[in-house]
Structure 1
Amino acid sequence: MSQVRPETLTTPATGSWATYKRLLRYVKPFWLAFSLAVFGNIIYAAASTGMAAAMEYVIAAIENPTDQNRLLLTGLIVGVFALRGVGTFFSQYFISYVGRQVINALRNEVFDRLMTLPSRYFDDNATGRLVSKLTFNVEQVAEASTNAITITLREGLTILGLLGFMLYTNWKLTLIFLAAGPIIGLVVNYASKRFRRISQRIQGSMGDITHVASESISGYRVVRTFGGEDYERERFRDVSARNLKQSLKMASTQAISVPVIQVLVAFAIAALVWTMLAPEIRGEMTTGQLVAFITAATTMAKPIRQVTSVHAKIQKGVAAAYDVFETMDEMPEDDHGTYAPERVNGEIQFDQVCFRYRDQLDNVLDNISVDIAAGQSVALVGRSGSGKSTLVSLLPRFYDYTGGDIRIDGQSLKAFSLRALRSQIALVNQNVVLFNDTIAANIAYGALRDCSREDIREAAEKAHALEFIERMPEGLDTRIGDNGVMLSGGQRQRLAIARAILKNAPILILDEATSALDTESERHIQEALETVMQGRTTLVIAHRLSTIEKADRILVMDNGRIVESGSHHELLEKEGAYAQLHRIQFSEHA
């Protein structure tokens, strides 16, 4: 199992505003709902300003309690609160609608991009961290693009409305109140930078939590068999503690910045009250106007606190958006080919093919040249690490060769479109991948889903899978659990072979396809494979040499090169590498 990466997150080169602008483009298609949310925020801000302005009439009504004033005052209170309620509904519901739509659009776009990325991307990124991008990070992005915006709009408009009222009432007092503005701005700026830095670390640690948990859960049998429970607990506690540490840093920054800003606002209000008692400043303001002015100033404390605290959400979202966009900006597989034949004959040529993985100096494959006639079966044998699996993985272009060329029917692989190329190849891996679905859906997977029930049944029969499928409670409609957990290794392998048979492709790749079978099953499968191999170009990777004795040609590989080529009997007579491998296996078997 892979180790959790160390905490080495750096600040993205892309600016916050550039990332945020790109994020807001996802809001654009839902402009109508967003406009209704803005409309609701304007109503809310107007009602909040109206509450402060109404204090003048409240004082007047108290000083002169006539029936008309009583009626006006009660109607005013009900009207203001009703208006605030309408504004709250519009702003909250429609911004939530936009938020969920943005999450859906982002998730779909990220998943679509993941489906087109090259194999190296999945080699470099743990599954758990990719799942975390689709779940946790996208949710954080939505917070920034919707909830943060609605709070900023609602409270920002409220601040503007209250300021406008205060300037209208007494501009001198308002300027004294605004003196604290620059200091508040400095506090907000420092907190914002810290929020973003910590948010990146939180996202990294969430990816680690998902990664460790998924590894431990999927590999629970290995964990328990080898006594790894304590090790996995320690690993999980370590990444969880890292997440806790960063989350507490975020909470402490938020908890400190908000009271500091409130105290600054309190100082501003105190200076206001102290100053307004001076006759030359107060001017000819009535008691009602004074009370309304102070109410407006004190009412502003809450929206200021809200607007400053929302920076934490915005910075979380910006950090998450950068991470999500980073995946979306990854280059997809090179798919510039246009050649798309309906069915190839299956003639394959490896012409001085070289390959090396990224960041490696030495070639994994070195000047491989071999011609395979259409319909021929070719077996690849050799020690582990000799390059057998790498060679066959170049054929469907899971990796692109770094030198030479590979041709099918005389056409370079790079001339084919990826979909057309892969439609010509059926693959059975040693590590069978099955889905949490029915047996029928697993055999007729993907492009095969429209195959008839009879074809699926026939493929299962040819793969000798029907004998155990008929014993299942619901036959072909039996669900087999996560990655076929309800089946034995041999049964899973036979379903993979049935899938390859059903595809009926002209090129067949069998990578240790009978490795998980017992001797009896292997004999049946060998017969099935011999049938399905007829008329198809077949590349077989086999560890057990007894399974490939009937191959038309056997290629012996060592250190990324082909060192021997010939039939089973020819290679035995040569007394070379193949004969040596055969003797070792024969003596072990004996």
Structure 2
Amino acid sequence: MTSKAHPSTSSDADSLPDALAPASLRQSLRFLSSMPHAPRWATHASLAFAFGVTLVSLIGSAWLTGRLVDVFQGGSLPLLGTGEKAVIGAIIVLAVSYVADQLGRTLGRYVISLNLRQISVDLRQACLKATLAAPIPRIMELGTGNVMTRLTKDIDDFVNTMGNMAFRVALAVLMFPASLFALGAIDLRLLIPFVVLVALVWVPVKRNTALLPQAANVVASREGQMNNILLDSIRALPTIKSLGLHQWAHKRLQSSSWRAVRARLYTAPIFARLIGYAYVIYGGYLMSVIALAGFLTYRGIMTPGQATAAVMVVMRMEMPIFNAVLMLGRVQEAFTSLGRAVSLAKISEGAVTSTTADITQAPEVIVDHVTFGYQDGPPIMEDITLTFAAGTTTAIVGASGAGKSTLASIIAGINVPTSGTVRVGDVDTATVSDEWTARHVTLMSQEVHIFSGTLRDDLLLAKPGASDEQLLSALHAVGLSKTSVDFMRNFPEGLDTRVGTGAEDLPAAIEQQLSLARVLLVDPPVLIMDEATSEAGSDAAKMLESAAQEATKGRTSIVIAHRLDQAAGADRIIVMDQGAVIEDGTHQELLDVGGSYARLYSAWAHSGDARPESGGGE
């Protein structure tokens, strides 16, 4: 990448947060405490023992090393005596303290790592459960890449960072009071330089540490957006190749990548300043203690051994001080990543829950004064009122961009209207849960997903507990009987055939037949098909159309018709243009009116094209 390729996006854009702010540290810790594998008394006791052993070993060995100076000058040590006996005893104690230090560190790291791994599983499950339970528009607003980043990278970053650093950071934090206590026990005047130095850097350190959470969130947000674009580019690879959009796709990903890089670079000056403050504290305090201890020793107030012990204790503080500063940024980023994951795990809180009874018969669907627009943009659909009679099939036709698919997504609950209501039977879909809406309104589109596993697993997702006979019956209804050529060719092992990711790709028409079979198993009262049989130009055209007609029986059906032969067979036809309904009636009524539909149908009839297009997707 050269400088010429750098995007011109402003730095202000790089600092914008995403649609879901991370949870605060307090909220995150409270949420973790509710996890099944949250730390219990045994974990706390093990960590207290590990930290206690390590702290006593570190500070005790530093103090003992310094006090040996007094022994060399003929003095004595408590419990160890004088002379050679004291030196040998001190060496043994130092060796034991070293072993104890290593054992304490090993135990602490093991306990923390084990608990973090267990919590990560709980957190990932909570995030996935919340994502599936959250309102669909909320997830769509957040973005697939953002959700994936929070589910994977953010949780992994928290676990890996805290697994590597949690013990060292906690030890560094505990070393401060323990070391200061040891210095105070030698002489309280040794604490004065520390208090003065901390007072000098307190305000700038606090100001810089306050910048880290926002900076970390911006970094994670930019990386999530980059993942969004990467996933989008991979999914659209055939389209990109066919339209020759390689350069556009490359520049878009490059621009997103540079935004992520700039967001990461934004944190570098913050860390540089914090490291500078650490040098001020440690260097200033070490020099001050050396000078003060030397002066007190010269005046006879302190023994040489005590002075040396004080300097050794301060030198032992070097690693904790720099650990605290150097790891502070990483720990802040880890807690921000945790907050992002926790906010995702809580995204379904406040979602509408409902005890509304299920509808067992095909209901009337009413779209009442619905207006819709994306975010702060102008309305793309305004004051639409429609009633879809129970048990009928309605075709919606119109040019690309007319609003057909948008209307379908609003009825299905994927998009929430800016104003107005959608009622299924007597139920306002805004007052019930997404699960209720999903059970009663199924939206089928051209983009069919086959879940990884066996064919049986894929179909059972639509109707858990269904017998093999029921699954085969649904397949038979959509033209995939177990004796058919298509079934035997594509599913040689029957219901045990592997499908989805990692298995052999299925023809698009077969995938749509499987999707229709899932609809029959779900048996929703309302079915919306948006370009669901677009593969009708294939060899399986008649079978696919027959399967679609089978799926519409006994339910209220809405067909976003991209071919006029689909519309002609419907009970009712609605013509849309620029987000508005311009014609409404039966096939014959619209022909008699002589409007847009009649002109389109006449052009098709005279062209002799058996598969006319009424308008693509939006």
Interval containing the TM-score (normalised by the shorter chain): 0.7 to 0.9
Structure 1 counterpart of 2:438, one-letter code: R
Residue identity opposite 2:29 in structure 1: L
Q: Which residue in 1 is equivalent to 2:15? A: 9
Q: How many angstroms does 1:332 deviate by?
A: 6.0
Q: Determine helix, strand or coil for the equivalent of 2:240.
A: helix
Which whole-Å CA distance do the structure 1 matches of 2:326 and 2:606 have between them?
74
Amino acid at match of 2:597: Y
Deviation at 1:255, TM superposition (A): 4.8
Q: 1:350 aligns with which of 343, 348, 366?
A: 366
CA distance in 2, matches of 1:489, 1:202: 39
| Structure 1 SS opposite 2:370 | strand
Letter in 1 for 2:53: I
User: In structure 2, how many angstroms separate the alpha carbons of the residues matched to 1:463 and 1:195?
Assistant: 57
Deviates more, 1:462-471 or 1:45-54: 462-471
Contact 2:412 2:443 in 1 (8 A): no
| Match of residue 130 from structure 1 | 147
Give SS of 1:156's match. Answer: helix
The yes-or-no answer on 1:165 pairing with 2:182 is yes
Residues 1:203 and 2:203 are matched in the alignment: no
C-alpha displacement at 1:382, in angstroms?
2.5
- What is the deviation of 1:305? 1.7
| 1:30 lines up with 2:23 in the alignment | no
Alignment check: 8 A CA contact 1:26 1:102 kept? no
CA offsets 1:142-169 (integer angstroms, 9 cap, x no match): 5787766533431222222222222111
Match of 2:397 in 1: 381
| Counterpart residue identity of residue 279, structure 2 | Q
Q: Which residue of 2 aligns with 1:534?
A: 553
Shift of 1:10: 4.9
Gaps of at least 5 residues in structure 2 are: 1-6, 75-81, 610-618
Counterpart of 1:153 in structure 2 is 170
2:317 corresponds to 1:307: no
Give the equivalent residue in structure 2 for 1:439.
Answer: 455
Alignment of 1:162-241 (within 5 A): 162-176=179-193, 178-186=195-203, 188-241=205-258
Deviations 1:129-148, CA, capped at 9 Å, x for gaps:
22112223334445787766
Q: Is the counterpart of residue 464 in structure 1 residue 479 in structure 2?
A: yes
CA shift, 1:333, in A, is 7.9
Pick closer, same or farther for the CA change 1:234–1:163 going to 2, 3 Å: same
Q: Is this contact kept in 1: 2:402–2:578, CA < 8 A?
A: yes
C-alpha distance in structure 2 between counterparts of 1:517 and 1:569, whole Å: 24
* TM-score using structure 1 length: 0.87
Deviation of 1:452 after TM superposition, in Å, equals: 1.5
Between the two proteins, the alignment pairs up a number of residues equal to 583
Identity among equivalent positions (%) equals: 22
Matches within 5 A, 1:156-555: 156-176=173-193, 178-186=195-203, 188-251=205-268, 253-255=270-272, 257-258=274-275, 260-278=277-295, 282-327=299-344, 330=347, 335-341=352-358, 343-350=359-366, 352-357=368-373, 358-362=375-379, 364-373=381-390, 375-401=391-417, 405-414=421-430, 418-446=434-462, 448-466=463-481, 467-472=485-490, 473-482=492-501, 486-518=505-537, 520-555=539-574
Tell me by how many angstroms 1:285 deviates: 2.8
Mapped pair 1:78 → 2:95: yes
Give the alignment's Cα RMSD to 1 decimal. Answer: 3.5
Is the 1:44–1:158 contact (alpha carbons within 8 Å) kept by the matching residues of 2? Answer: no
In the alignment, the residues of structure 2 paired with residue 104 and residue 324 of structure 1 have an alpha-carbon distance, to the nearest angstrom, of 12
Structure 1 residue 49: Cα displacement: 0.9
Superposition deviation, residue 582 in structure 1: 0.7
Q: What is the identity, as a one-letter code, of the residue corresponding to 1:9?
A: S
- What SS class does the counterpart of residue 555 from structure 1 fall into? strand
Q: Deviations over 1:18-40 (max 9, x none)?
A: 92222222453314324422331
In structure 2, relative to structure 1, the CA distance for the partners of 1:42 and 1:566 (3 Å cut) is same
What TM-score results when the alignment is normalised by the length of structure 2? 0.83
Cα distance between partner residues in 1 of 2:585 and 2:257: 56
TM-superposed deviation, 1:589: 4.0
Unaligned runs of 5+ in 1: none
Cα distance in 1, alignment partners of residues 593 and 353 from structure 2: 45
Q: Which amino acid aligns with 2:531?
A: E
Which residue matches 2:602?
Answer: 583
Contact 2:478-2:550 at 8 Å conserved across structures: no
Secondary structure of the residue that 2:24 maps to in structure 1? helix
Counterparts of 1:501 and 1:253 in 2: how far apart (Å)? Answer: 59
Distance 1:376 1:432 in 2: 25
CA contact (8 A) 2:212 2:267 kept: yes
* Partner residue, 2:79: none
Matched, 1:53 2:87: no
Counterpart of 1:179, as a letter, is: V
